Amino acid sequence: MNNGFASASRAVGREVIKIERELVHFFYPVVAGVTVLVAVIVCDKLESPQLAIPFAIGATLTPLASTREPSPRRTFTYLWALVWITLSVLLGSLLSRDAFAFAIIGIVVSGLYGCACGLVGRISANARVIGVLSLVFFAIYLGSPETRLGALESTAMVAFGGFLQIGVLTLLSLRREPLSTWAISAVAPSALQRLRDGLSWNDRYVRHALRLGAAMATATALALFLAHTFSWPHQYWLPMTIAWILLPDAHATTTKTASRILGTFIGVGFIALMVGVVLGAEPSLRQSAVIAGFGAFLMLAFIFANYTVTTTG
């Protein structure tokens, strides 16, 4: 039994660090990273640093929603993802208050939202990614009561960042995919129909949705407790990490989960090193812009080649 466990562990370890070099892409990831970098620098120039963070995360994470789809399907997926991301930011921001009543409501809604985002995985691979992105954004803004922007301002900046990134990537895609090559895919069964077909309590996505909902509610409650009892900063980290790690996957679930856990800790460790040793406790907005742009590049460049690197970004 021990030999079998050791062999399985080594196999997972090899998969976690293996990079499929032929699947590393640079053009669009570089463009996305530069877009984030330039946008944050513009916010700095306009003396509006409070706009930079929501703008940057909207521009960074929205392109993750689509896999290797052709145009215009890829752009439609981006836009559909942005709709749900925007709604998630608005909901999280509206519930982000220090009042006890809002904390209780936030815990309950976090659990329900986790269930919903886990269940949509039955629809398609893209729906799974959109679900986890929506949950990540919800967790971030639910756990950020100290933000200097109101709910509507935060939502607008995330939406603007995502929309700008979609526009840039779509326009540049015309070089490789001119309008003459665009074609609308055949109509598939509706999302609601795919969600309902074969739905039962024994379905693995139903079980995952229940686990994810319970984990999100527990993580949110624990984060609130730590924040109010020990003044724990950035209380969104715990539920956000849970949302990121527990993305359901039909294939290589163990490998993907290990990659997400390892990548998350590497990314957090890298930021801690940069802030604690290299840049100092309060890095400038432009220094943060470089890190954000590099993170966006890593996420998109290695999304098919190595999931650990993508999660690190």
DSSP state of 242: H
Q: Is 91 among the domain residues?
A: yes
Residue 182: what pLDDT?
62
Which band of pLDDT confidence, cut at 50, 70 and 90, is reported for residue 68? low
161-179 pLDDT, tens digit per residue, is 899 888 888 888 777 766 6
Q: Is 283 among the domain residues?
A: no
**For the whole model, what pTM was predicted?**
0.79
pLDDT, averaged across the chain:
77
Instruction: Write down the residue that tokens 């940069």 correspond to.
Output: 274
* Maximum CA extent, the chain: 62
Tokens, residue 196 = 């309902």
> Looking at per-residue confidence, does 34 or 217 come out higher?
217
Lowest average pLDDT, out of 8-12, 45-49, 68-72, goes to 8-12
The kind and range of the H/E element at 174 are none
In order of 110, 224, 230, the CA distances from 104 in angstroms are: 10, 10, 19
Q: Which of 100-114, 167-181, 193-207 has the highest mean pLDDT?
A: 100-114
| Amino acid, single-letter form, for residue 280 | G
Which band of pLDDT confidence, cut at 50, 70 and 90, is reported for residue 85? very high
SS3 63: helix
Q: Is 304 among the domain residues?
A: no
Contact 76, 96 (CB under 8 A): no
Q: Is 44 among the domain residues?
A: yes
Cα gap 69→178, rounded to integer Å:
15
Residue 205: what pLDDT?
81
Task: Give every CB contact of residue 134 below 8 A, 6+ residues apart in sequence.
Answer: 84, 85, 87, 88, 113, 117
Structural domain harbouring 98: 24-177+198-250
Domain count for the chain = 1
Q: Is 52 among the domain residues?
A: yes
Q: Is 45 among the domain residues?
A: yes
Count H helices, E strands: the chain?
Answer: 13, 0
Lowest average pLDDT, out of 66-70, 74-78, 236-240, goes to 66-70
Q: Among the residues of 181-305, which ranges form H helices?
A: 191-196, 204-230, 237-245, 253-273, 285-301
Lowest average pLDDT, out of 137-146, 147-156, 174-183, goes to 174-183
Q: Is 240 among the domain residues?
A: yes
- DSSP annotation string for 128-153: HHHHHHHHHHHHHHHT-TT-SS-HHH
- Chain center to CA of 241: 10
Give percent of the chain above pLDDT 90: 3
Cα gap 74→65, rounded to integer Å:
9
| Amino acid, single-letter form, for residue 185 | S
Residue 250: what pLDDT?
47
Give percent of the chain above pLDDT 70: 77
Task: Give every CB contact of residue 33 below 8 A, 6+ residues apart in sequence.
Answer: 293, 294, 295, 296, 297, 300
CA nearest neighbour of 189 among 197, 200, 178: 197
Cα gap 86→91, rounded to integer Å:
9
274-290 pLDDT, tens digit per residue, is 766 666 666 677 777 77
In order of 15, 151, 215, 236, 308, the CA distances from 267 in angstroms are: 19, 28, 22, 16, 10
The average pLDDT across 137-162 equals 80
Cα gap 153→293, rounded to integer Å:
22
Q: Is 220 among the domain residues?
A: yes
Which band of pLDDT confidence, cut at 50, 70 and 90, is reported for residue 63? confident
Instruction: Write down the residue that tokens 């709709």 correspond to.
Output: 83
